[in-house]
Structure 1
Amino acid sequence: MVIADQLPPHHLPLLTFEGFTFDPARGVLTAEAREVVLRPKTTAVLAHLLAHAGQVVSRDALLTAVWGDVAVTDDSLTQCISEIRRALGPSGTSLLRTHARRGYMMATRSRPVVPAANPAPPLAPGSAADVLKPASNLLRSRLAWVALVVAGCGLGLSVAALMGAVRAPDPAALDMVAPGDLSPWAQARQLLAEGRLAQQGAEPFPVRLRASLPLFIRALELDPSLADAAAEASFVHTNLRSYNASQDPAQDLREAERLAALALAAKPDASMALAAQAAVLRQQSRFAEAIVFYERAGRPVDRANIGIIHLLLGDAEAALPWLRAALQERPLHEFAGNWQVYLGLAKLMTGQPDQAAYDFLAPNGDSRFPLEERLLYRLVALHSAGRFAEAEALNADLRQRDRALLARPLRALSVSDEAAYRARFASAVLEPLHRMGWDEVGR
């Protein structure tokens, strides 16, 4: 096992968050002119929490990541947490949160800091240093852009995985690359990182998707072997269809299929390439085949999609553990709102309305399901659970809303044409709504 504070210092990039700069190589946390030196174990704890920013990390996971097989008491970790909060100053408690009986979470997002190269003095033409300069520039360029790409992928990685990704290319490969070939390699990875950053923000998700697509396509043009760029571009097309934001669904599906094939050809075993192929198969309603590719991809989002597909096939019982696992692993994922609604539908279909009521009330992140639709599902859950006072209050509120919004086709009904799914949806959702007087819904 690789312990965070045993990693080579030059593999540890600077990180910035909420006005702080964290140097894990030196164990220093800086805010404006204040610099705090942390103990090595405290440094490793903070690095691990930042690598999992936005996620609750259990005490056991922190103890394993930082101390490995060395037996220590809980007090050792508690002391590190206290030291981090003191270093963070007045915002320590709000940034580093304790979740009772679950663990700790850094309520922020961090990004690597890519320092500018120091200017070098002029060199005499033909000197040894001048001959070695292209290889040195390549090394710095690759390290910098790999750091950016890691940031674009999200910070749900372990510290060991994060640091292992930032390493120098093989020296033999450096000798084979001519100086004129360096720019496209670096530019492609920069564009990939910029495309991922373009998908973040407050604008509607389809808007962010369209902004990112040209960046992924340009990256792929510069480096056709960049599987992640092809996969990300494929996801844009499938997600536009999923969010009912496609201007030409048939063309989007064709492009998604083409780009997923390019990603698989470039890197057949990569999670992103496998997931892109799975997303295409799902759009084609080839659900059983899609599950196979999602299982091979193996990320939390892929596990969520396995659960959704089981639900779309009408097997709500099989959907439950997959969706629960994904939400537990990545509760702040940008698609967690969708996962939670699907989880609620699965609970309704399996006779768990009381548990389902919450899932429709407060989904996390973006959701493809409009608020009015989610409130109708909550109404069914409350009524079916015997919580009649709450159901009546919600029913009265809904009847004051725009009937056109409430009467539009339910997205959850249109996501699958499988007979088993539609039968269970009708029994668990539509029939109760119709009995409560919502005759126009789902017709």
Structure 2
Amino acid sequence: MSPSPGIWRYGEVVLDERIAAVRAGAAEVELDRSSYDVLLALLRHAGEVVTKDELLESGWPGRVVSENSLVKAIGRLRQALGEDGTAIRVVHGYGYRLAAAVRFEAVAVEKVHAHPHEAERLRDGDRLPHRPGWRLVQRLGEGSAGVICLARSDSGDTRAIKLATSESGLRSLKREIALARYIQAVRADLPAVAPVLGWNLAQPPFFLEMPYYPHGHLRDWAQAQGGLGALSFQQRLSLCVQLCEAVAALHEIGILHKDLKPENLYPVADDQAPGGWRIVLADLGAGEAALAPQLAELGLTYSLVDGTHSLSSAQAGSLLYIAPEVIAGEMPTQSSDVYALGVLLYQLLVGDLRRSLAPGWEAALDDPLLCEDIAQAAALDPRQRVLDPRMLATRLRTLDQRHDERDQELRRRDEDERRARRRASERTRLRMWAAVTAALLVGLVATTAMSVRADRARLLAEENARQRQAVLDFVTSDVLAQADPYSGKGDSGKPTGGNQVSVRDAVDRAAAQVDQRFADDPAAAATVHALVANVFFGQDRHALAIGHYRQARALYRGLGADQLPALIRVETGLCDVQRIANDLAAAEEACASALRLSEEAPAQRPFASLKMGQLRTEQGRYRQAQAILQPLLASQALKDDAKAQGELYWSLGLCARGLGEYGQARKHFENLLALYRSAGETTTWTAWAYNSLGSVLVETGDYDAAEPLLLNARRIFEQTQGVGQVEAQMPNIWRTESRLRRGQWHEARALLQSLLDSWSGALKPDHPLPLRAQANLAWAEAMSGDRAIALTRLQAAMRDRARLFDQPGDRVVPRVLRWVRAALALDRLDDAATLLAIYDSRADEELPAAHPLRGEGDCLRAQLTLRQRDVGQARGEAISCDRMLRTFYSPAHPLVRESASLLQRLDQADRG
């Protein structure tokens, strides 16, 4: 994407972004806006394949239109561009590409001339084009790129309308719409951010609609109040807290505001807010997502985010609020938003929006704690801005408490000084008693030590401390020292000759030496084996993890009852890793052992029960899992362990999702996300929460809402686990599912192949994840035209039936239905019949009487029966399918639409 607007050329075609005009040779080409935007998207990605979805989003942003609209737009472009139009090539089943050499000439932003977008012709009192029943009342503000007007409907409703008067203004609108859509998808509950209520990007005048805030922005509102100084200090402090929390909410979903200033802050009357007013942030047109790939993969980049980082856009806003590093030419960051926040906090707290942080600013704020907060937020060096908006909000909210703590500290210091003076005056008198006092102290310490050593709890605490020290020594001396390139040590402490050892290699080498290292200390050896097992588990090296868990278990079993809690944790860890590795029988043994042991250690019982419930979930025994897990939720037995509580929400959500109880599943996953986000946005557990919530939205057919959640999950997984880890690929399972359901076969194939490539070294070939991906890939290949490849896969699957479909305890039904679809797509009716017989043999074992997979199975059987010319039986199966699916899904769900289409085909067959 170009860094700034400019002029594009290929052949005889010239597209001038400054005025949104296209010429072919000497003649100007008349294009509708959608065709223009499609051409611009192709130019920006010349030589590349641009998908249909990307082009639809470019030409018709925010609208739902059919692919036929794109086909017609391409046809109009080819005709309008003459011979050069033949360079627009179709890539069948995927999209289009511009097969031409493209040249681009950037134009400085200040030289971009206004284009007559019709907005400049509108006057107060005019009807708002494209919005029947709405009229413009008055202009609220204007700039070089657009105007903001108050609009009122015939029924009296009001809105603020932001109209673009130039191409740069249109880009700003698109950027703001993109961010609003992203916020709605990722964090809809942000009342502190002004929402975009609607927009028109189809034809001039282009505009977006926002709420109208009658009290105006902060500067106007303050003036109407008689100045900020007329407000109480507590009211101003409350506004500061709200402002910090609003900016924190944006930063936590990866968005910079980049233009924080009074004109973009709107006070809104709210009886529920402290002081009766709350702050709303507006005008995100200058802002953008800090996580560029995140927006790009939401499909918003091509038409809704221009991705520019020009100095003029980066320096949007009043100079007073722009961080020094941004003025110097560096890119805006969250830290630069914090600088603007610091300036605004100072102005609000002193009650004067004209104040700057000039030397001596502290004199106007007679509060050392607030001076410290502002100094850290608005430090000239961004490295010294150690407070983020959430921390600032907390510090401001607890200001009274902090004052009390500061006063207590000062009183303690005064008292310490007085005591020191008294001690100095008495030192001579006390010296003579020093020997006697020392002897008494020695005796007291000895007596106390003997008493503590006699106490069993103290002994256990000392033992635990010793084991923790053993772990620390192991990590620092045996692992990290090897990975330190300056240590000069490698394996067994021998010089490496300068060869650097990776941390992974260091762990492997150290792990092999555990038993030798702690030969005389089985308790320490057990603790370190458990630690190493956890590390290998996190690296998806399941076989190694299982080996070390088993060694730890054997050692703990030889120790006393004091180590029972540690043994139970090792058993549950072993159950977990074997569950993930799909060794469900071995996992069953470990979880059952943990439950038996917990009878003698009641405090461990809830956690052991949780792990057994998770295993039942993995086995697809959802009702049994719920019977184990629901009492844990009702009793709040795990409430003091956030991680375990999260796993409980997660497992219950998986149960509900597996049973088709999607409303309940969504509730559990929303609780999971709220719990984990409170501990931090970028943790593996938060990623799982995003992934799980996205999964249930995919199941219910809400693909657009699911996509940003799944992308967020993948980003966090990659940050915390690494790109190659199994977890990093989990969101793509559900992204693939949404593409399969929407018939986006080529995109689904690319994702599936990526999944299989990633899992080839991490998961066993008979693991359910790659087995399901192979079935999906065969279906996608068959539907996208690669029938020969799909047939080869299907034939291999039918030959390998025992491994794929006959394993006890495995969840076969979802996988076998995908093979049925592949067989039907390939017209392999006998294979489809065989696979449906396998489905029948497993459905009662795996599914309750009412389940969406039963409905899908009936639909696929009806399709087979129809092809076998038995219309009457097919009708009964199709009716059963349709009735079952409609109990779980909305009429718009792809499976319901499929069943409705099947019934229509049967009606036609009857008439035929």
Structure 1 length-normalised TM = 0.50
Higher RCO (CA-CA < 8 Å; seq separation 6+): 1
Structure 2 length-normalised TM = 0.27
